[in-house]
Amino acid sequence: MFIWLTELLKQQAPAVLVTVAHAEGSVPREAGARMLVAADRLHDTIGGGHLEYVAERMARAMLAQAPDEAGAQRRLERLPLGPTLGQCCGGVAFLAFERVEPAGHAHFRDIADALARNAACLRRVALDSAAPPLLEPAPASAGPTRFLGDAQGARWLLDLCAPPAAQLYLFGAGHVGAAIVRAMADLPCQIIWVDERQDMFPAQLPANVRMEATDTPEALVATAPGHASFLVMTHSHALDQALAEAILRREGTGWFGLIGSKTKRVSFERRLRQRGITDERLAGMVCPIGIPGIAGKEPAVIAIAVAAQLLQLWQAQAAAGATEHGKKQQA
């Protein structure tokens, strides 16, 4: 989102950033979901069909106003989905509308730079004035995006901008690896795509993908964060085995998937046991990969099955993390 926004502002084009500031009851998207409305295009989504249609119309009306007109810079709208929009969800969405001008390019570039460093930041946006938004490193205790009001009636959007918690180290740029990158291009995750053959990577990569062309892929295993997921599917069984050993020797390795058949698994287990990998560690190796019930071997089919498997994993991890965060808040 923010990379796309900085490129738009470089073209001297204003836009309106629409953020779900708060959600009550059943709503299409969670607080922190964003949509960017430019004069001739939309980027990303706040979901909900009619809700998004109404939000787009409001944003384009803001763009049609002179910047100094009342309500042309910022506004907060409370939209009941049932009585106001005729949607069956029944919840209430609070949407923050923020006009962004080319002069604000540096603010959003700083956010994009922070996210590229895997650093979270917190935006403080005055919703009742045109005061420049403030940006600061997000404290560990920062909650989700929300809006607050003070005793004088002023309202603020506290917008948490955090890199995706899900990180996937994908080893192998062959047909299946490329299909997985395509399938996961718009998912909330960061993919570190690794292969020693630089000419195997496409010229254009999705925004959530970072290319690593290296002859020592095992070094990336050693420096990966503790919560990272690993997916190994290189062109070489010997390299697959070396990577599997490096991953399984890590402390606290997250999910690890290895492409291959049950026969390949048996062969790898035997060789890895000979190299000192315990049965307990081997039990955490997922091979074959993909959710059960999808048996096709076409790259696109494997990619969908693996993407679904990873989404199940990451959503379960996020739910467990939210529960733990709630317990700490209550303690």
**pLDDT tens track for 3-24:** 777 777 777 788 999 999 999 9
Residue 83 binned pLDDT confidence (cut-offs 50, 70, 90): low
Q: What's the confidence (pLDDT) of residue 147? A: 92
Q: CA angle 103-108-112, nearest 5°?
A: 150
Do residues 29 and 20 make contact, with C-beta atoms less than 8 angstroms apart? yes
Inter-residue contact 58 to 113 (CB < 8 Å): no
pLDDT confidence of residue 234: 96
Q: Which of 131-140, 151-160, 273-282 has the highest mean pLDDT?
A: 273-282
pLDDT above 60 (res 328): no
Flag whether pLDDT at 159 surpasses 70: yes
CA dihedral sign of residues 202, 167, 100, 43: positive
Q: How confident is residue 104, by pLDDT bands cut at 50, 70 and 90?
A: confident
Q: What is the mean pLDDT of residues 84-99?
A: 80
Sheet order of strands, 134-137 included: 134-137, 121-126, 155-161, 146-149
What is the rounded CA–CA span in Å between residue 114 and residue 78? Answer: 31
Q: What is the mean pLDDT of the chain?
A: 89
Where residue 87 falls among pLDDT bands split at 50, 70, 90? Answer: low
- The pLDDT of 292-311, averaged and rounded, is 94
Whether residue 15 contacts residue 38, with contact meaning beta carbons closer than 8 Å, is answered with yes
pLDDT digits (tens, 9 = 90+) for 52-68: 999 999 999 999 998 88
320: Cβ contacts below 8 Å, ≥ 6 apart:
none
CA distance readout (Å), 172 to 83, 167, 193, 331: 51, 16, 7, 45
- Report how far Cα 158 is from the mean position of its chain's Cα atoms: 19
* More confident position, 217 or 91: 217
Which of 53, 56, 76, 101 lies closest to 158, judged by CA? 76
* Phi and psi torsions of 118, nearest 5°: 60, 30
User: Residue 144 has what pLDDT?
Assistant: 87
- Tokens representing 35 are 């949509």
Domains of the chain: 2-120 (no CATH), 167-315 (3.40.50.720)
